[in-house]
Structure 1
């Protein structure tokens, strides 16, 4: 075996990265905050929802938004926003194919039709230049996903939405603390949906929230997540077809504590991302995604690079990922295929009555999303982006070590 290959960690050589990057990050203040709620015996919501209301106010203020509505997860927060926005069975919603399943599956859940529009290969976000080609008389909304915490081209998307009278629901599940032209992501469209699932940059294990400046949207979403109740009604008056999507006091108080760290953590991730970009500029075959053409603050829920196997001795992406993991870099190959290739779409397992028979996802092809899934995308996880500059340098050394070993 070549001496360079013997040095690879995957065959027993020393790891490039020895450090462990824990997540979530917490201290005694988080423990005491949760313990105080436990001791109070008032865990529920809304019968004793002081902490829930406080967190909603804090998060809305953080995003410079008028309202915030918490709920059980980020999938439900998207669903609440779409229903409140007035979508009806059979309506079409534009979504990207390179995102978590919930972005499209919630559209199916409300008996609407996801229409996939390919991503910009420079950013992996929804490509505005491809949107107008798919707009029909049934199109009612666009869900731009700020993938990995990078802002979509919101100016272009909002311009299209205005011309066609479409709702814009931002999927900001990755984008806590990120900004576009000085505005927090999620606060730019009609509503913005966030997730607090365990991997997210702001987490309580599970949970979600949706923000808006629209009075009518807020009132409807607030009702839907609380079994259709209205503040003017009685406890057993139900005005809308909602369910119990409420979070608990325990989640809310934990989120309030975690929110205190978010800005500092976002600044660290953003600076480390810029530093990694500069380091990788000299590594042939590894191209960091573009941050776009306008001023943004990237929160790097994922740090993504495009991998070119021709510069790594034709090493397949999955084998490169295995080697990188063995070197100690917290990473992943990401999605194995675009959303439209999931069985639910290929087999039309919709359980919905309003999806036309003519809808056929076996004919959908988004070449940029396919390329990202199959050949290019390499993800480094957000907790690793909270490391030091020395840690970022160690990630690059790991990549260079693999390249040297496989390119000879």
Structure 2
């Protein structure tokens, strides 16, 4: 098997669009958002692309979550329901505000938050429910929307994996709830770091703007800081790169949407391999990761398998660890129960912690022939392990 067959497109991708944007930002002479134009224009373009009324660009995806939760009233004495299987930022964004993150289990098919488990976790202290659109699969926004409306608890979509995703033909910014995005180096569009929050209401956007700028209104000249906040402002250079990245996103999504059904079917033919499932109501999946499980595999064997895949040229990774299985989860605003207590109600997340693998989305920008090569490598390495 030729190593050339595994020479996938590099990530991040860039070209003259990014170069022109960086020079444009440089030459305007103002490199922060208050004096420049790039961040404002990016926010307008990003909001429009996602069907949102408003978008606020920020420093990181983690900060996007934290800021959004603060706008929704999350703080000490409140709880935020999060999927147990997710990147740690989903829980830490709530915990750093003094709120208790309450992990619940996920679907064994899509790996997205389970609606019934979420319903069971709601208490009078619940202030937000945070579905994570895992690897680009949109969570069950029908079930979650009804649950949130009945309970009077807002949704905050963690859309770090879901740039350009659609649920029933609507982009995630057009689903009536706040959504947070990440532009970290591995994400579907990137400036190395960065984030954004989309809002359905102008009042939410304005409150978020003040908080992301140290509590200072946009036109303030007298340091009349209106509320607590931090400096989450995006700079002009990052915004100029992200404007270019946004312009190439549709073409990349179209390629990945063609490649994943091919790869998924090939992986499913390998004994013991189960690819991540989808939801027919998710009408556009941008495929942040190519995820699959090997049920029954131990964590140690899974990790060794990932190492072997990397040695064979695949950009492979062990999947996320359930958030309650990390030391970080227990440092701030920890729930009044043990990790084993939580694990008993999160059996799927426990399994995913042990047996799930993901491939970087740049593999899905490869050729259809390369999808066959990927499956052959997975089958060969698994057979040898």
Q: Same fold (TM over 0.5)?
A: yes
Contact 2:39 2:236 in 1 (8 A): yes
Who is 2:327 aligned against?
343
- CA apart distance, 1:35: 2.0
Instruction: Write out per-residue CA displacement over residues 73-105 of structure 1, whole angstroms, 9 at most, x where no aligned residue.
Output: 011111111111122421111001111111001
- CA apart distance, 1:279: 2.1
Does residue 321 of structure 1 match 2:309?
Answer: no
Who is 2:361 aligned against?
382
- CA apart distance, 1:368: 0.7
Contact 2:176 2:200 in 1 (8 A): no
Who is 2:276 aligned against?
289
Take 1:362 and 1:392, find their aligned partners in 2: how far apart are those partners? 39
Take 1:152 and 1:191, find their aligned partners in 2: how far apart are those partners? 14
Contact 1:190 1:214 in 2 (8 A): no
Take 2:219 and 2:314, find their aligned partners in 1: how far apart are those partners? 54
Indicate the larger mover: 37-46 or 251-260: 37-46
1:25 is paired with a residue whose SS is coil
Instruction: Write out per-residue CA displacement over residues 252-276 of structure 1, whole angstroms, 9 at most, x where no aligned residue.
Output: 1111011100011111111111121
- CA apart distance, 1:29: 2.4
Give aligned pairs, total. 383
Of 366, 372, 379, the match for 2:352: 372
Contact 2:47 2:173 in 1 (8 A): no
Over 3 Å counting, the alpha-carbon distance change for 1:90 and 1:309 in structure 2 is closer
Contact 1:16 1:395 in 2 (8 A): no
Over 3 Å counting, the alpha-carbon distance change for 1:16 and 1:30 in structure 2 is closer
Does residue 33 of structure 1 match 2:21?
Answer: yes
Contact 2:6 2:373 in 1 (8 A): no
Who is 1:106 aligned against?
93
Take 2:53 and 2:21, find their aligned partners in 1: how far apart are those partners? 26
1:364 is paired with a residue whose SS is helix
Of 183, 189, 196, the match for 1:209: 196
Who is 1:49 aligned against?
36
Who is 1:91 aligned against?
78
Specify the structure having the higher radius of gyration (Cα): 1
Of 15, 18, 33, the match for 2:6: 18
Who is 1:363 aligned against?
341
Who is 1:393 aligned against?
372
Contact 1:172 1:186 in 2 (8 A): no
Over 3 Å counting, the alpha-carbon distance change for 1:227 and 1:275 in structure 2 is same
Over 3 Å counting, the alpha-carbon distance change for 1:361 and 1:286 in structure 2 is closer
Take 2:274 and 2:337, find their aligned partners in 1: how far apart are those partners? 36
Over 3 Å counting, the alpha-carbon distance change for 1:130 and 1:101 in structure 2 is same
Over 3 Å counting, the alpha-carbon distance change for 1:309 and 1:128 in structure 2 is closer
Over 3 Å counting, the alpha-carbon distance change for 1:274 and 1:109 in structure 2 is same
Does residue 332 of structure 1 match 2:317?
Answer: yes
Over 3 Å counting, the alpha-carbon distance change for 1:315 and 1:104 in structure 2 is closer
1:105-144 aligned within 5 A: 105-144=92-131
- CA apart distance, 1:201: 0.5
Instruction: Write out per-residue CA displacement over residues 361-383 of structure 1, whole angstroms, 9 at most, x where no aligned residue.
Output: 45311211110111x21101111
Q: TM-score, normalised by structure 2?
A: 0.94
2:192 is paired with a residue whose SS is coil
Structure 1, unmatched stretches of 5+, are 1-12
Take 1:405 and 1:109, find their aligned partners in 2: how far apart are those partners? 44
Contact 2:6 2:370 in 1 (8 A): no
2:6 is paired with a residue whose SS is coil
